[in-house]
């Protein structure tokens, strides 16, 4: 075993790369351990789809921390955006699509056929939501800040998304268009506090626009390449094909990691971008995280989302007019609440909510001419269905295709290839009270010197890299404190 490193980062996804880059920039000797053959995690183009490769994870960026983009010079390292502000389009079976863009008048015109009142209310709704969200940025963007408007935060922290939307809108169409976002992190829109998910989302900023949804040019792999470049430039030693078997402990503090190959790597601190559950239950020695914590962690998320990626011979009809959009399919908000209950019980829900994006419609780098990619996220789905995913996946595919076909007639005939990524097990359940808590409690673990730097420590699981930035700062302060 060579001399101890300052820091070890587990997981080579965007969060791990970000954390490692910040640590190295702070002068730490850092190694990053990635289990796979390449960095990128679920953002890497790791799934084969005909001649193409596609990522298994996020299909859009709506939360990437602008300070990470700036401080790690990601734009200079090649990160460009193919779309900066996707329209939010609700596809309806009972009428024309709802087009909720930044243009308030156009949005009102689109809502009016469903409800004059909602058309008039939408501008105020969005203004109030965005204003509240801006105030909460201190809490959601920075460590150690206290929440603004604490009374309002407490009120929303007890209000379900369904109740919040019921108060804001009267038409089913307007409520349903927000149903997909209300189920972030596997939550039910009826669960207390889920209205905060809208505020959290609205507090995000992409390309300088609040609440925008963007897509990198070249797909998520372009983000990975830029982050990887930043990490390497900062001096991070990246080791791929190096799965961690378990953590090394000395007393009740971390001392490094043991690889599956048996190699021991000593380090003064360890940052894990894996889930809390994987980090503390699988990698740490039994009991090290605390008995009660272990019991709490053993209950994983029950409801999750699946991803479908299709290659098509033609752009689906709904994307023909407005390609730079996220298309949301959900008939009724109430249906999503019932669907969540079904998914929780381990069954395939009768109604599903979809978010579809056609990245090839605005990014020519992704596929050769004549081929289009349709990327779809599906919620809510059981993480561990009773009959098992191998059996359920074909039924889910059929349900999703039927739903898509309803809004894009002729879609089935155009399908060349299809791949389905079933819900990820081992994910930590989203806890709404965490949306009102500070960062440190999520990042620190009961094991000294072990920090979480991935989605597990975000208030809402998302690709923001913000946790990694804050975790790196906390870890550096920890090391300096220990040195003193």
Partner 1 sequence: MNALSATPFHARTAEANKLNAWETRNGFTLASGDPGEAVAARFGAVVADISWRWRASISGARAGEFVSRLLTRDPARLQPGEGLRTLWLNDSGGVRGLGTLARMGRDAFLLISAVDDLGWLADSAALYGVEVRDVTHNEGVLALIGPATGKILAAAGLEGELQPFGLRKLFWRGLDVTLSRFGDGIELWCAPDDALIVWDRLATAGRPFALCPAGQRALDILDLERGIVQPGRDFTPARDGFSPKPSQQSLGLGALVEPDHMFNGRAGALGPGKVLTGILFDSETPAPQTVLLRGGVAVGHTLGSLVSPALRRAIALAAMDAAAAAPGTALTASGAPCRTCALPFLPEAD
Site for partner 1 in 205-264 (CB under 8 A): 251-252
For residue 309, the SS3 value is strand
Tokens of 483: 């040195």
Does position 292 interact with partner 1 (CB under 8 A)? The reply is yes
**Per-residue contact string for residues 443-472; x = within reach of partner 1 by CB under 8 A:** ---x--------------------------
295 binds partner 1 (CB under 8 A): yes
**Using the rule CB under 8 A, which residue among 151, 262, 291, 369 binds partner 1?**
291
Q: What sign for the dihedral angle of Cα 250, 255, 258, 264?
A: negative
Nearest approach, Cβ of residue 249 and partner 1 (Å): 9
**Which residue in 287, 369, 370, 390 binds partner 1 (CB under 8 A)?**
287
Query: In whole angstroms, what is the distance from residue 459 CA to residue 130 CA?
Result: 18
Applying CB under 8 A, which of residues 1, 286, 441, 483 lies at the interface with partner 1? 286
441 binds partner 1 (CB under 8 A): no
Concatenating the DSSP letter of every residue in 463-484 gives S--HHHHHHHHHHHHHHHHHH-
Structure tokens that stand for 369 in this block: 């001419």
Nearer to partner 1, 346 or 446 (CB): 446
Q: Which stretch binds partner 1 (CB under 8 A): 81-89, 151-159, 292-300, 334-342?
A: 292-300
Which residues pair with residue 395 across a beta bridge?
none
Residue number with CB closer to partner 1 (27 or 433): 433
Q: Please classify residue 37 by burial: count the beta carbons closer than 10 Å to its beta carbon, then call 0-12 exposed, 13-18 middle and 19+ buried.
A: exposed
Report in angstroms how near the CB of residue 294 gets to partner 1 at its nearest.
Answer: 6
Give yes or no for a contact between 31 and 9, defined as CB atoms under 8 angstroms apart: yes
Closest separation in Å from C-beta 290 to partner 1: 4
Q: Which stretch binds partner 1 (CB under 8 A): 50-58, 73-81, 271-279, 283-291?
A: 283-291
User: Phi, psi (5° rounding) for residue 124?
Assistant: -65, -40
In the complex, least distance from residue 298 CB atom to partner 1, rounded to whole angstroms: 9
The burial of 415, by beta-carbon neighbours within 10 Å (0-12 exposed, 13-18 middle, 19 or more buried), is given as middle
Both tokens of 41, joined, read 């995690």
Q: Is 426 in the site for partner 1 (CB under 8 A)?
A: no
Cα distance between residue 333 and residue 176, in whole Å: 5
Q: Does residue 294 interact with partner 1 by CB under 8 A? A: yes
Contact footprint for partner 1 (CB under 8 A) = 251-252, 286-287, 290-296, 446
């Amino acid at each position: 075993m060579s001399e101890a490193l300052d820091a070890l980062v587990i997981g080579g996804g965007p969060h791990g790369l970000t954390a490692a880059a910040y640590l190295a920039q702070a002068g730490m000797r850092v190694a990053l351990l990635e289990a796979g053959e390449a960095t990128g995690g679920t953002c890497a183009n790791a799934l084969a789809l005909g001649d193409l490769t596609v990522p298994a994870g996020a299909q859009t960026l709506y939360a990437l921390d602008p300070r990470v983009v700036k401080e790690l010079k990601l734009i200079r390292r090649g990160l460009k955006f193919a779309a900066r502000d996707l329209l939010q389009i609700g596809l309806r079976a009972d009428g024309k699509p709802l087009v909720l863009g930044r243009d308030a008048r156009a949005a009102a015109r689109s809502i009016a056929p469903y409800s004059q009142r909602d058309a008039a209310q939408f501008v105020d709704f969005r203004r109030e939501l965005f204003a509240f969200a801006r105030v909460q940025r201190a809490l959601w963007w920075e460590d150690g800040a206290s929440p603004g408007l604490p009374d309002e935060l407490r009120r929303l922290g007890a209000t379900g998304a369904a109740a919040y939307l019921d108060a804001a809108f009267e038409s089913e169409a307007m409520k349903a268009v927000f149903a997909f976002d209300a189920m972030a992190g596997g939550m039910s829109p009826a669960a207390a506090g889920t209205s905060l998910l809208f505020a959290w989302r609205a507090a995000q900023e992409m390309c300088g626009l609040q609440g925008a949804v963007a897509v990198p040019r070249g797909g998520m792999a372009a983000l990975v390449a830029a982050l990887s470049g930043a990490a390497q430039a900062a001096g991070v030693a990246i080791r791929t094909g190096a799965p961690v078997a378990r953590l090394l402990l000395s007393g009740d503090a971390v001392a490094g990691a043991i690889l599956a190959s048996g190699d021991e790597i000593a380090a003064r601190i360890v940052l894990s971008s894996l889930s809390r559950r994987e980090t503390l239950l699988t990698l740490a020695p039994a009991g090290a995280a605390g008995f009660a914590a272990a019991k709490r962690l053993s209950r994983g998320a029950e409801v999750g989302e699946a991803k479908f990626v299709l290659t098509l011979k033609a752009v689906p009809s709904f994307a023909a007019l407005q390609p730079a959009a996220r298309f949301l399919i959900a008939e009724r908000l109430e249906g999503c609440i019932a669907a969540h209950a079904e998914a929780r019980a381990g069954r395939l829900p009768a109604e599903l909510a979809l978010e579809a994006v056609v990245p090839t419609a605005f990014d020519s780098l992704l596929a050769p001419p004549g081929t289009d990619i349709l990327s779809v996220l599906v919620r809510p789905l059981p993480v561990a269905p009773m009959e098992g995913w191998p059996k359920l996946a074909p039924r889910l595919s059929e349900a999703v295709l039927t739903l898509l076909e309803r809004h894009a007639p002729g879609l089935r005939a155009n399908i060349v290839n299809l791949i389905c990524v079933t819900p990820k097990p081992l994910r930590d359940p989203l806890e709404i009270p965490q949306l009102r808590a500070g960062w440190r409690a999520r990042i620190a673990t009961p094991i000294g010197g072990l920090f979480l730097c991935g989605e597990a420590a975000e208030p809402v699981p998302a690709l923001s890299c913000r946790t990694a930035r804050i975790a790196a700062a906390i870890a550096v302060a920890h090391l300096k404190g220990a040195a003193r």
